[in-house]
Amino acid sequence: MHTLGTSALRVLMSVNILVSASTFSSSVKGKQRSLTLPAEANSSLSVPVDTKAVLHCPPDNSTALVVTWTIKPRDQPPCTRAYRRDNNETSERNCTDVRISWESRPDQNPALRIDPVAITHDGYYKCEVAAPDGHFGHTYCLRVLVPPKVTLFQDSNGTIVCRAAAGKPSAQIFWNPEGDCHTEEEPLGNGTVTVQSTCHWEGRQVSTVSCSVSHVTGNKFLELKTGDQLSLNSTILYITSSISVALVIVGSILLWRIGCCRKC
C-alpha cells in the first residue's frame, strides 16, 4: 500500500456527464419563458480508498433556497442532509457515518466531503437544489478504487507466480516473455479481487521474467531473475557432460594404447 501513496493522492476522475432535459420551459401566465438550465445530470466519480473526496453541487449556489444531499452507499440505508437558506439551518436524517459531512459551511458552499473514503462508500450521492428559477439534480455514481498489492515470486516447485492482491477493480497481469500461464481471479467479498497468474517456460532458456500489472490506480512492473537457477543447472550439465566426454576420450586413448601395446 505504501508504494502507491503517490497514485492514491491523485484523485482519478472519469467524468462522463450525461445531461438530460438541458432545456426546459415554464409557462408564466401565458408567456413562454425558456430557461437553459440542466435539470438533471449524472456523473461517475472514481476515488482511491483512504483519500478525501469532495462532491460539488454544481449550480450557482447563491440562489439556492434548499440544498439536499441523498446519500446511498452500497448495502447501507440512505441518509439525507439538507440546508435551508431562509433560516440558515442544516438538518440530517439517518446519517450515522461521521466520515461524510458538509465540506465547509453549507451557506457558502453546499459540497459534500467524504474523508477518508472507505470501500463501503461505493454508491450514489444525489444533490438537489431548489432555487427560485427551478430545480436541479446531480447524481454522482461513486466508485472506490483500491490499488492491489503486487508480488512476484518463485514457489517451491519452481513455478513463477505474479499476484495482484485485493485490488478494486481487478488488475490485469502481463508477462514478458510470454510463457505457459494460468490466471485466476478470486473475489474477496468486500468488492476487491485477487488476481494470480502462474507461469512456466518449459524447455526454454529464460533468465529474467517480468510481470506487468495494469490497474486504474497505476501500473506496476516487477522483474525476477530465474537465471541463477537455470544457469546453475546448465553449468552442472555442462560440467557433467564435459567430464563424461573427457573420460570417454581418456578411456578411448587408454584402450587404444593398451590394444596397441598388446599388438606391439
Ligand X SMILES: *[C@@H]1O[C@H](CO)[C@@H](O)[C@H](O)[C@H]1NC(C)=O
**Separation in Å, CA 151 to CA 162, 213, 241:** 6, 10, 37
Question: For the window 27-56, what string marks contact with ligand X as x by the rule CB under 6 A?
Answer: -------------x-x------x------x
| Spatial separation of the C-alpha atoms in residues 22 and 36, rounded to whole Å | 6
Q: For ligand X, which residue of 14, 20, 22, 25 counts as binding (CB under 6 A)? A: 20
Q: For ligand X, which residue of 3, 25, 91, 159 counts as binding (CB under 6 A)? A: 159
Three-state DSSP class for 3? Answer: helix
Beta bridge partners of 196: 163, 184
Q: Does 108 bind ligand X (CB under 6 A)?
A: yes
Q: For ligand X, which residue of 10, 93, 225, 257 counts as binding (CB under 6 A)? A: 93
8 Å CB contact between 9 and 79: no
Among 8-16, 190-198, 224-232, 254-262, which window interacts with ligand X (CB under 6 A)?
190-198
Instruction: Considering the complex, state which of residue 19 and residue 247 has its C-beta at the smaller distance from ligand X.
Output: 19
Among 4-12, 104-112, 128-136, 241-249, which window interacts with ligand X (CB under 6 A)?
104-112
Asked if residue 58 has a cis previous peptide bond (ω within 30° of 0), the answer is no
Q: Does 7 bind ligand X (CB under 6 A)?
A: no
Q: Of 217, 165, 174, 223, nearest to 193 (Cα)?
A: 165
Instruction: Locate 225 and state its grid cell.
Output: 531473475
| Spatial separation of the C-alpha atoms in residues 223 and 175, rounded to whole Å | 10
- Note the residues at the interface with ligand X (CB under 6 A): 18, 20, 40, 42, 49, 56, 61-62, 77-78, 88, 93-94, 107-109, 119, 139, 146, 155, 157, 159, 166, 188, 190, 192, 198
